[in-house]
Chain A
Amino acid sequence: MIRVRLLGEAGIGTQNHQRDMYRPAFERHPGFTVVGDDEEADAVSVALPLPERAAAIEREIRAGRHVLADKPLAATAAECERLATLAEEHNVVVVPAHHQRLGGALRSAKAAIRAGRVGLPWNVQCDFIVAGGDFAGDSGAGGELLNLGLYPIDIVCDLLGLAVTKVRATGGPLGTLQLNTLQLDHEHGVTSTIVVGRVPQVHGIAPAGLLLHRYRVSGSHGVLVIDATRPALEVRTAREATRAWIGPGTVDTLLDVFAAGIRTGRAELGPRDAVRAQRIVEAAQQSINEGRGVQLDAIR
């Protein structure tokens, strides 16, 4: 049993992922036991305010404790890079909570792509659009581009497994809404496009729920269309329309990944993924500010 201590209850805006997501998931996971602040721990779950997060994770790494970190792992790509290097030096597992990539539909899609079922992918289109919830665009911590954008950026990169060489981006806040469009160039001439942001609350979608979360992978020999809001049931009553997720949740699977990483010394999701996603976010912001594309030295 892995002993895990919970550090912090903060996130971007009014989010409290520790209370709402990680604690319940740790408590029901058979591989972890949650311990108090004064007890010995093998691992920590960090959800401290972003300005404090990197320093706290660094302390935990140096103490030899494995880290599950709320996303973003740190406020900047440079900080993420430093933590990744530090984790490698201290031989501890650091898993950033990019849990959306762990949905059942996406895991199967990645396997299908790797198996060549669409041939050679040449384009990916993605929509990651949240309806309602608290607007993080004025949080001063990278806004919705960082808060929401990390997820689909991570997923597209994970699906393709190809380096990003250029980023063009547009869009931004519109009042308390925000939508951004990112055009990524990958190696081998592959392109991807991500539309990400927050639109108003709409009927039938829980506040801060995903109105659209989908991917279309076009390949030389086929097309793979993924609705990442599935597997799910649609439940309609006289009073409401809701969705019921089928199978393990993405946070539960994240803890599986974390536990397996601690057992084996290598997690399938690590701080290098956070570095890659954060560098793309920063390049996108630079592209928006300067109105031009930003070349990158092949981010894998």
Chain B
Amino acid sequence: MASDGIGILLVGAGFIADAHSAAVAVTPGARIAGIVDVDPGRAAAFARSQGGIPHASDLAQALAWPDIDAAIVCTPNFTHAEIGAAVAGAGKHLLIEKPLTTTVADARALQAAFAGKGLVLAAAHTHRAYDYGRAVKAAVAGIGEPFLVRLAILGGWIWPDWSAWVADPARSGGHALHNGVHLLDLATWWLDARPVAVSARGHKQTAADLGIYDYLEMVVDYANGATAVCEMSRAHRPGSFNQRELFVAGTGGAVRQDWDGEAAVLYAENGPALVPAAGGNGFALQLRAWLDSIGGAAPLMPVEDAVLAVAMGVAAERSIATGERVTLDEVLA
């Protein structure tokens, strides 16, 4: 590692790379040491925006640069398994966008590859690092044993046109893998319980010919009798609809945050809108936790939890397809 901190290679120069690079910019002990993207022009443009860092379109070439200690992968979901394996092969630590991979087998393979080399692998389940995620985790400690989570993250269509890779289940793994894993992981983290089955349903609201379900409902059963009801939507109308609601019940009380629990409400000519309260930087906190875990600290997002999130996402997609409850044992077998 160079004296000016861990050198990080950004893999993929899409929109989420901006959030990660901004986090690096405010984090002592880390720096963006290079960018690689399959589109050379996009890699070059990103490099210029970072003050002229090295750029490339070939991953192996970039991983071989001398001051690269770790990588942050911001590429589409279907590329995670191959790119992750390359990063492990190069002996670098990895923070990879969620989902860890789109299949359980690939997730386990990555887990083994990094563990075998003593490298740190973390999936960017950023909601664990967001203010609300941490606040609920802390509050749940005061309500006895939690046994119900209700979590809804709802909004309108935000993706591009039919060319969007997210809307192609072959490339995204489906909505349960792409966004659903955030909620599945968060609920499981809050409950601190072992998930055993998922009963999911989906709607294709924006267009009947969608390849993915833009609205998801995922009901998770846990070994201790707890239940989580997770809703994820990019299907709501009007498109400006944007709500997050949560409710956690325990043997000694309950935690609740309504749609307006973290924002001011603005009434303007085009209707009401939320003005979110200023708060912490979840991406920076997530980055700090990953860097600390490279230094030996306990991880914020253990890799086994990322594998489990993939398994729950796969179970949700399978449950929607079959119309039945799918056990985690089936998915993990």
What is A's interface to B at a CB cutoff of 8 Å?
119, 122-123, 125, 127, 129, 131, 166, 168, 170-172, 174-175, 177, 179, 181, 183, 185, 189, 191, 193, 195, 199-200, 202, 211-212, 216, 218-223, 225, 291-293
Where chain B touches its partner, the secondary structure class is strand
Known A174-B147, A200-B252; contact A183-B217, beta-carbon cutoff 8 A: yes
Known A170-B227, A177-B147; contact A123-B219, beta-carbon cutoff 8 A: no
CA gap between A181 and B144 in the complex, in Å: 21
Query: A123: which B residues are within 8 A, CB to CB?
Result: 203, 215, 217
Interface centre among B197, B233, B250, B251 (most CB of A within 10 A): B251
Interface centre among B144, B150, B259 (most CB of A within 10 A): B150
| A127 lies within 8 A of B247 (CB) | yes
CA gap between A107 and B131 in the complex, in Å: 38
Query: A166: which B residues are within 8 A, CB to CB?
Result: 323
- B325 adjacent to chain A (CB < 8 Å): yes
| A293 lies within 8 A of B324 (CB) | yes
| A191 lies within 8 A of B247 (CB) | no
Query: A291: which B residues are within 8 A, CB to CB?
Result: 197, 325
CA gap between A123 and B203 in the complex, in Å: 9
Give the A-B contact count at a CB cut-off of 8 A: 89
For B217, the closest partner residue in chain A by CB is A193
- B44 adjacent to chain A (CB < 8 Å): no
A32 to chain B: closest CB distance in Å? 39
Bitwise interface map of B from 136 to 177 toward A, beta carbon under 8 Å scored 1, else 0: 000000001001101010000000000000000000000000
B200 to chain A: closest CB distance in Å? 9
Query: A119: which B residues are within 8 A, CB to CB?
Result: 237
Known A170-B199, A175-B251, A218-B236; contact A181-B217, beta-carbon cutoff 8 A: no
| B148 lies within 8 A of A195 (CB) | yes
Interface size on B (CB < 8 Å)? 36
Bitwise interface map of B from 194 to 214 toward A, beta carbon under 8 Å scored 1, else 0: 000101010101000000000
CA gap between A219 and B235 in the complex, in Å: 10
A-B residue pairs in contact (CB < 8 Å), sample of 24: A123-B217, A168-B199, A170-B199, A170-B219, A170-B221, A171-B225, A174-B251, A179-B249, A181-B227, A181-B229, A183-B219, A185-B201, A193-B217, A193-B219, A195-B148, A199-B254, A200-B144, A200-B250, A211-B254, A212-B256, A219-B237, A220-B205, A221-B238, A293-B323
| A122 lies within 8 A of B205 (CB) | yes
For B322, the closest partner residue in chain A by CB is A293
Bitwise interface map of B from 214 to 235 toward A, beta carbon under 8 Å scored 1, else 0: 0101010100010101010101
- Beyond contacts A127-B247, A166-B323, A170-B221: 12 other A-B pairs, Cβ-Cβ < 8 A, are A122-B203, A127-B150, A174-B147, A177-B147, A185-B201, A189-B203, A195-B148, A200-B144, A218-B233, A220-B205, A222-B238, A292-B324
